[in-house]
Structure 1
Amino acid sequence: MLNSVRIDLHTHSRVSDGTSAPADLLAEAATAGLDVVALTDHDTTAGWDEAAAAVPETGVGLLRGAEISCTAGGISVHLLSYLHDPGDAPLAAELERSRTSRDGRARAIVDRLTDDFDISWEDVAAQAADGATLGRPHIADALVAAGVVPDRSAAFASILAPSSRYYVRYHAPDAVEAVRMVRAAGGVPVFAHPRASVRGRIVADDVVREMADAGLAGLEVDHRDHTGADRARLRALAGELGLFVTGASDYHGVGKPNRLGEETSSEAVLDAIAAAGSLGVLFP
């Protein structure tokens, strides 16, 4: 591998809340000039096989992963898990529980929305791929289609924000326990966008320290939702705790401003993840 390798460690497909099929996501990564991309759909590994099959054709390497919805002291946080065993029973059961809860939560949100907006569950379902777990992004897309808001970002900033009266919580494991489960499943846990205050409340540094004690491997530092000051603080914290630093786009396709490869990670970080995970990185 060359020093010019471009690696994006956080992307989503239609299997969760992105807009591209897994194979199409890899094709888009090739067009964006990426050499390796991580598929990290929310609470699922269902897109792995399709993405893996596209590796030879697209020439883009694949890091298999997932983004796990967690909570810490009532604050929603996300944990990226790379190269874990998808057949690990405890982790698979926890992800299934989260997906089931997410579906029920989406229906509850839609029930509240129908009081004020011309939107139905069928409208939301029409925005998702077959088999995808419906969530707030699909509700946002339905609101866009209905002309209520101009785009996903506007929906999340207003109608679907945690402070909104339409918001409904869902099951999510404790963040520290999630780190332990990922490690037990042979995975490599990385805290996604830990200081993204534009999304809501963020956890204190002591929570990151607890996660590090449980086996956290890295912090996603270079992310569009982090300011320069956020990045500097996170780099200092990563240095203190012996964690590696990643950068990624958090790409979801159309409807969000994030672009593939807008932030990237180093080859050294990819090598560290590959060395610690139970699965290998798939190269063309």
Structure 2
Amino acid sequence: MEGRADLHMHTAHSDGAFSTDELLRKANEAGLSIISITDHDNVAAVDEAIEAGKQYGIEVIPGVELSAGVGEQEVHILAYFFDHKNQDLLDHLMFFRMERVKRAERIVGKLNNLNVPLSLDAVLERAGMGSVGRPHIATALYEEGLTGSYHEAFYKYIGNGKP
């Protein structure tokens, strides 16, 4: 059987723009036959994606994206084909998501020290049900009128090595 695959997709459960069902619909429209939802530190979309995949004839591989530090560099590690209901895994992922909130709080604090009046609540609101990350901070900075664009937020305030 021949087909197309995308094994690195994000839903609104992390920094993706689409709900799980919307993502599966778009995958179907793109002619994909296999996908993997690899949300950051989060497997909440996997069961929903597997069910929606059946409707569209798309095989869904359980996946997750984890961040790790290698020296001064941050690397992202993709994992596939694991038991996404394993309680030890879920506990570790919850810990990682809580660390993401703490990181966002530190970044917002640094921005406040630079007289950028961004609130953690504004950032968490953008993250919604997902794992909070720098894209949510950039969105909040832009939507709160604190930068002229999403990209300016990264360039000026939250890109690597900032603030």
TM class by shorter-chain length? Answer: 0.7 to 0.9
Pairing of 1:1-284 with structure 2 (within 5 A): 1-2=1-2, 5-115=3-113, 116-130=115-129, 132-147=130-145, 148-151=147-150, 153-165=151-163
Q: Please give the alpha-carbon distance, in whole angstroms, between the structure 1 residues aligned to 2:94 and 2:121.
A: 23
Which has the larger strand fraction?
Answer: 2
- The TM-score with structure 2 as length reference comes to 0.87
CA contact (8 A) 1:23 1:51 kept: yes
Structure 2 contact 41–131 (Cα < 8 Å) conserved: no
Q: Deviations over 1:129-165 (max 9, x none)?
A: 33x22221111111121231412x4433331112112
Distance in 2, matches of 1:62 and 1:76, equals: 27
In 2: Cα distance, 1:21 partner to 1:51 partner? 10
- Please give the alpha-carbon distance, in whole angstroms, between the structure 2 residues aligned to 1:12 and 1:83: 16
Shift of 1:103: 0.8
TM-score (norm: length of structure 1): 0.52
Could you tell me how far apart the structure 2 residues matched to 1:90 and 1:74 are? Answer: 28
Deviation at 1:23, TM superposition (A): 1.5
* Structure 1 residue 89 displacement after superposition: 4.9
Letter in 2 for 1:113: L
| 2:25 aligned partner, one-letter code | A
2:85 and 2:29 map into 1 onto residues whose CA distance is 32
Count of residue correspondences: 161
Bigger Rg, which one: 1
Residue type at the aligned position of 2:124:
A
- Provide the alpha-carbon RMSD of the alignment: 1.9
CA contact (8 A) 2:15 2:135 kept: yes
Provide the rounded CA distance (Å) in 2 between the counterparts of 1:38 and 1:149: 34
**Counterparts of 1:57 and 1:89, CA distance in 2:** 28
Q: CA contact under 8 A between 1:67 and 1:78: conserved in structure 2? A: yes
Structure 1 residue 90, shift from structure 2 partner = 4.7
Partners of 1:23 and 1:53 within 8 A in 2: no
Residue 63 of structure 1 aligns to a residue whose secondary structure is strand
1:210-253 CA-partner distances (Å, limit 9, x unpaired): xxxxxxxxxxxxxxxxxxxxxxxxxxxxxxxxxxxxxxxxxxxx
- Unpaired stretches in structure 2, ≥5 consecutive residues: none
Contact 1:103 1:134 in 2 (8 A): yes
Unaligned residue ranges in structure 1 (runs of 5+): 166-284
Structure ranking higher in helix proportion: 2
Q: Counterparts of 1:142 and 1:23 in 2: how far apart (Å)?
A: 25
Tell me how far apart the structure 2 counterparts of residues 149 and 52 of structure 1 sit (CA, whole Å): 39
Higher relative contact order (CA 8 A, sep 6+): 1
Shift of 1:121: 1.8
Identity %: 35
